[in-house]
Amino acid sequence: MPIPAIGALSGVTASIGAAATPATNGTGGADFGNALTGAVDNLQQLQGTSDKLAIQAVTGNLDDIHNATLASTRAQVTMELVAGVRNKAVDAFNEIMRMQA
């Protein structure tokens, strides 16, 4: 059984790659914000799936424990990525606020 890619990563990594190149139309900030919003929405979906499968595992209604493990790992990795991007954004904001005008 092939393991599908984590959907939230594609949106965030695409926006990070876009942020690395200079924006010519000035909408890079909005695009980055939309990518982060999409990543958080996908994270909520992954956590919901993980929770549902965990409940099925506890109640004995789960046929394949591998699905629950994969869903839990996907949710954890995506959460770590979103938290890391958030922390870097907060650090960048704080650095900007420390600059003298």
Question: Is 60 part of a structural domain of the chain?
Answer: yes
Return the pLDDT at 3: 56
Who's near 83: CB < 8 A, 6+ residues apart? none
Question: Is 41 part of a structural domain of the chain?
Answer: yes
Domain count, the chain: 1
Question: Is 1 part of a structural domain of the chain?
Answer: no
Phi, psi of 3 (to 5 degrees): -95, 120
Question: Is 2 part of a structural domain of the chain?
Answer: no
Question: In this predicted model, which residue has the larger pLDDT, 7 or 29?
Answer: 29
Question: Is 81 part of a structural domain of the chain?
Answer: yes
**101/93 Cα distance (integer angstroms):** 15
Question: In this predicted model, which residue has the larger pLDDT, 87 or 24?
Answer: 87
Q: How far is CA 2 from the centre of its chain?
A: 21
- pLDDT tens per residue across span 31-75: 888 888 888 899 999 999 999 999 999 999 988 899 999 999 999
**100/33 Cα distance (integer angstroms):** 26
Q: Using DSSP, state whether 61 is helix, strand or coil.
A: coil
Highest mean pLDDT among 8-12, 37-41, 89-93 belongs to 89-93
End-to-end CA gap in the chain: 57
Question: Please, which pLDDT band fits residue 11 given cuts at 50, 70 and 90?
Answer: low
Provide the residue range defining the domain that includes 37: 7-98
Mean pLDDT lowest for which of 31-35, 41-45, 86-90, 93-97?
A: 31-35
Q: Which residue shows structure tokens 């949106």? A: 11
